[in-house]
């Protein structure tokens, strides 16, 4: 059985980084240093899977136009991909990195997906599941033009193939995915939107095999039908929190792959250590592997139920 | 004789506007409203020439790749163009427009021009001058890969064809263009870089037929071998100053077209009125025509030498 991890990105992005001295609202700043790379949460997950020693494949929507900067960017990152051209353009995110005021993120919502997007991405996932997958991670927002139920539909396709699946989605897509059979990975805000701290147990009662809720520097909790655990990081780290959740999803996916029963305390410790190791790196989709290895045994996991 | 005005843009741009509520350095903001258009100073000049009732042609470098968002953008604006594909990509400028903190501009420097850029743009200008031109405006920065003397070379080509030419350039390109025969349009900062307030007379002594220096809300001065004039706006206006200088260049170009002797007081009044009329519009390349017509006779012009 293959241990390959598929990631699904419905709302891909070109992540642009502007390095400037300072950013003062109302002023003009020249940007001498412009970098761009393929982005979107599933791309970050796939990149971290590779850093964790796993094999990954990026499934994503992309632009119908050529040249496709997103496709070229994935090639540049050396990430295997299967893309569905169904967007008029790939949105951009602009990270303005300053020396004094931290990083300001400007995130375009994305362009509306065309009519072929839903059948295209479902077909691509079906084909890749037939080839073999150890786990699937569905991440990020749903562009206009696609229903909020598309992540749930993708989840059900994985469940029918007997492949464990993680949904790191929010809002209406999270509510739709709640009973679909995915391990859910809400963050604090997304959890609050649902119903507060009891939401995890409600989601499990509704059919989620597990809920792994992440709380940044406070760590994470895992709730399943069998129990509940809380993990706190060994150290508080500061840095770039963009992509920390994606790194955690990558770590969790590795623990779901090829096992009949998940070792939840170990998986949760890995989620917390890998997320923190991502904060140390300036770019989403990368982790400080040495820090992760150092922290993974130092994370405190306690059973709470 | 044709009165068509050619504008030359060596460093074109895609001007992107993000409308958001607030921009706080260090935070993440979702951008629901993204607009983009073809930009660069020469494009703004051509658009204002059209608003002033003139005919314009945009000569510009552009990307070698297709689809070309810059070319499509000019078509969208309905501006005639002759483009030289010699850039790996067209840079972007991002204007973050807020309701409370004004507009923050992030201007990419631009991508390096390829080897064919110089011969390409000189050849394009030569061909269009042969077809006929009333005046030429050369505007904006010079991308990497092109010498700072390229605007001066473009100026000399116009001079050889007996066509009046305005150079709205800065830094090394302004110094190179100083003795080339162009009417120069430095702003306050560019003038200060040269030598301060006496720089205008020095530039005229060096061979510039005229120097029109613009000082924003303070108005503008014109210095020629025959005299010097100062014009002050009738009203102080606040708004979007991006593109005000380009509007002034468009007005000046109209006054240089098809005349054997320029009426400098009238031209200077028009530069000041048209620049101020551009400040009233939220987008570079547009003017409030009614305001311009109201102000043009109200601008106070005094002879200072």
How large is the ipTM?
Answer: 0.81
User: Which among B18, B23, B65 has CB closest to A25?
Assistant: B23
Alpha carbon of A14: minimum distance to chain B alpha carbons (Å): 14
In sequence order, the 6+-apart residues with CB closer than 8 A to the CB of A143 are A10, A11, A61, A87, A109, A110, A111, A112, A113, A117
Q: CA distances (Å), B57 to each of A128, B62, B124, B169, B251, in order? A: 52, 15, 11, 19, 15
Mean pLDDT value across residues A245-267: 96
Element (H, E) at A245: helix A244-256
Whether residue B127 is predicted with pLDDT greater than 80 in this model: the reply is: yes
Q: What is the pTM of this model?
A: 0.85
Inter-chain residue contact A29 with B109, CB threshold 8 Å? no
Inter-chain residue contact B108 with A29, CB threshold 8 Å? no
Inter-chain residue contact A20 with B106, CB threshold 8 Å? yes
**Alpha-carbon distance A187 to A271, whole Å?**
13
Predicted pLDDT of residue B198 = 79
Mean pLDDT value across residues B97-121: 93
Whether residue B1 is predicted with pLDDT greater than 70 in this model: the reply is: no
Predicted pLDDT of residue A252 = 98
**A105 to chain B: which residues are within 8 Å by CB?**
27-29
Number of C-beta neighbours around residue B83 at 10 A:
20
**B245 to chain A: which residues are within 8 Å by CB?**
none
Predicted pLDDT of residue A196 = 63
Among A11-25, A41-55, B43-57, B195-209, the range scoring the smallest mean pLDDT is: B195-209
Among B40-44, B126-130, B217-221, the range scoring the smallest mean pLDDT is: B217-221
In sequence order, the 6+-apart residues with CB closer than 8 A to the CB of A25 are B23, B24, B25, B96, B98, B101, B102, B104
Element (H, E) at B173: helix B171-177
Predicted pLDDT of residue A124 = 98
pLDDT band at A197; cut points 50, 70, 90: low
Whether residue A115 is predicted with pLDDT greater than 70 in this model: the reply is: yes
Size of interface A-B (CB pairs under 8 A): 81
Higher pLDDT, A216 or A169: A169
Percentage of chain A surpassing pLDDT 70?
98
User: Which among B31, B65, B101 has CB closest to A25?
Assistant: B101
Q: What are phi and psi of B303, to 5 degrees?
A: -85, 130
Whether residue A233 is predicted with pLDDT greater than 60 in this model: the reply is: yes
Whether residue B262 is predicted with pLDDT greater than 90 in this model: the reply is: yes
pLDDT band at B153; cut points 50, 70, 90: very high
């Amino acid at each position: 059985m293959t241990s390959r991890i598929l990631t699904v990105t419905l709302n891909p992005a070109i992540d642009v980084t502007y390095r400037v001295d300072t950013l003062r609202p109302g002023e003009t700043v020249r940007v001498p240093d412009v970098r761009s790379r393929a982005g979107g949460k599933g791309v970050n997950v796939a990149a971290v899977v590779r850093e964790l020693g796993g094999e990954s494949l990026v499934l994503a929507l992309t632009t119908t136009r050529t040249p496709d900067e997103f496709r070229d960017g994935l090639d540049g990152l050396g990430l295997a991909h299967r893309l569905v051209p169904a967007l008029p353009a790939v949105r951009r995110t602009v990270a303005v990195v300053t020396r004094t005021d931290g990083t300001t993120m400007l995130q375009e919502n994305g362009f509306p997906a065309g009519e072929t997007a839903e059948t295209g991405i479902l077909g691509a996932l079906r084909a890749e599941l037939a080839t073999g997958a150890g786990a699937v991670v569905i991440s990020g927002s749903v562009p206009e033009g696609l229903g909020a139920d598309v992540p749930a539909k993708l989840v059900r396709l994985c469940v029918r193939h007997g492949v464990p699946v993680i949904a790191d989605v929010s809002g209406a897509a999270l509510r739709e995915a709640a009973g679909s059979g995915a391990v859910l990975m809400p963050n604090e805000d997304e959890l609050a939107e649902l119903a507060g701290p009891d939401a995890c147990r409600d989601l499990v009662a509704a059919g989620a095999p597990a809920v792994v809720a992440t709380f940044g520097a406070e760590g994470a909790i895992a709730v399943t039908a069998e129990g509940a655990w809380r993990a706190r990081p060994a150290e508080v780290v500061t840095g770039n929190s963009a992509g920390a959740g994606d790194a955690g999803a990558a770590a969790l996916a590795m623990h779901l792959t090829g096992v009949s029963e998940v070792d939840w305390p170990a998986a949760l410790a890995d989620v917390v250590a890998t997320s923190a190791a991502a904060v140390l790196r300036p770019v989403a989709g990368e982790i400080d592997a040495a820090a992760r290895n150092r922290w993974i045994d130092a994370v405190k996991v306690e059973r709470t139920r």
